[in-house]
Amino acid sequence: MLDRRTFLANTSFGLAGLASGCADPAIPVTPSPKPPALPDFYEEIEYRTFRYFRDTVNAANGLIPDRWPSPSAANIAAVGAALAIWPMAVERGWISRDLALTLTRAALRFFDEAPQGEGPSGMSGHRGFFYRLIDMKSGARYKKAEISSVDTASLHLGMLFAAGWWSGDNEDEQEVRRRATDIVDRAEWLWFQNGSAEISQSWRPEGGFARSGVIGYNEGLTAVLLALGSARHAVEDGAWEAWSAPYPRLWRGEGETRHLAYGPLCGHQLGHMWIDFRGIRDTVMRGAGFDYFENSRRATYANRAYCIANPMRWDGYSADLWGLTASDGPGAFQLPFKGETRTFHGYARRGPLDLPGERDDGTLSPAASLGSLPFAPEIVLPAAKAFMAVPGLYREYGFLNGYNPSFRFTDRKVETGNLNLQSGWVAGDYLALTQALILVQAANARSDFVWKIMRRSPVLRRGLTRAGFTGGWIQQKSD
């Protein structure tokens, strides 16, 4: 199975030339105004999506399943997102403050007390980091899962949010802040560099560190920023420069379409769930003349423009039905389509051809577009409405994680999901991270909900400052 860890290592490959069809000069890419109040139908999407977390959480330990309804381990990055989603639900009137606090404390107590060690089984993590997938009940390592620097960073960002939002003087909220801060501070980032300036992608007890570091441009930037901002185990200067070393090979487009490219849109969204990049720039972006928020806006338009151009001639791509990112797919097949043999995939990261992370097998994901709501509401809201109308895609917990309108091969047994004669292949599962992306980005679009808390985080501010970010809120005194 191809997953994020594979692509984080490969953002410097597949970079020859400009991507054809990735920038339509007829489509404006000027900065968006602050989004207006979202329409009623979007609140319905948010509430259905929230119910995934409410109904699947293990209330005893705060763990969230990686997917549902298929049997699944817990995903630690999804737990991090849930730590922001519970307070969001309080402010929306969906759950009580007491329930949100109970679920938050359960998760923090679990990770604070979970066994750590270098043994291959029975442990939840090692040296302050955690396995990407852990058992929903015991919290122990799931099968041969790796300890992931990026997924641990996502968990830690949720904990930093919790430490900022739960600001009361009572013992319970003090406990949240104390445990969250202690867990984040324990991560031994110097160890995870493994003697290099780069942060390693992962570690396994069977083989040690992965050969690949977290470099290039994608959501892996969060790991580097937390490593630089750590209170106890900060890495030396140079980690951000190592991360951004491949940037010169990643630029695509010209003029107002120029951007640091990474094909799957999740790479432009997952880090932005937590960090408000508006108005702050590192050395590279000061030279480019725009910030990473604008970069994600341009990448969103490029992804849509590619789908409109549709060089592979897939069915169902349009100006309102677009979005390539990480999602399930019908499975590993080579089948005839419009006079050619085409390759289809199961779970994979997908992005426009000729970009880092390229893969286009006709599978679209609603989260690819909805995760860009803060960047480009003017094209995301029509997409959300269009995806709601796809038969079988919008269900009990919002959007299933993907569909492929070109895959109508009724004689083939798909890996997951179902064939629908109207829609083609439709996924059978909701994915926790895509659900989280939809929810958190909507909250940021509405009120800067996560961003305004995270702007006060000492760890994040320290990491951004050490990475060379200046301007905007980073220059202002934290509340």
What's the pLDDT tens digit per position in 333-383? 999 999 999 999 999 999 999 999 999 999 999 999 999 999 999 999 999
Across all residues in the chain, what is the average pLDDT? 93
What pLDDT score does 477 carry? 79
Give 425-441 pLDDT, tens digit per residue: 999 999 999 999 999 99
pTM, 2 dp: 0.92
Q: At what angle do helices 149-165 and 76-92 cross, to 10 degrees?
A: 30
Give 250-269 pLDDT, tens digit per residue: 999 999 999 999 999 999 99
Q: Does residue 35 carry a pLDDT above 60? A: no
**CA–CA dist 196, 208 (Å, integer):** 14
Long-range interactions of 228-231: CB distance < 8 A, separation 24+: 228/462, 228/463, 228/466, 228/467, 229/458, 229/459, 229/460, 229/461, 229/462, 229/463, 229/464, 229/466, 230/184, 230/185, 230/187, 230/189, 230/459, 230/463, 231/185, 231/458, 231/459, 231/462
- Asked if 63 and 139 count as a contact pair (C-beta separation under 8 A), the reply is yes
Percentage above 70 pLDDT, the chain? 92
Mean pLDDT of 100-124: 98
Q: Does residue 26 carry a pLDDT above 70? A: no
Reading the block at residue 4, the tokens are 């994020």
Of 1-10, 96-105, 382-391, 412-421, the least confident: 1-10
- Asked if 239 and 228 count as a contact pair (C-beta separation under 8 A), the reply is yes
Percentage above 90 pLDDT, the chain? 91
Q: Does residue 11 carry a pLDDT above 50? A: no
Structural domains of the chain, with CATH: 4-468 (1.50.10.140)
What pLDDT score does 292 carry? 99
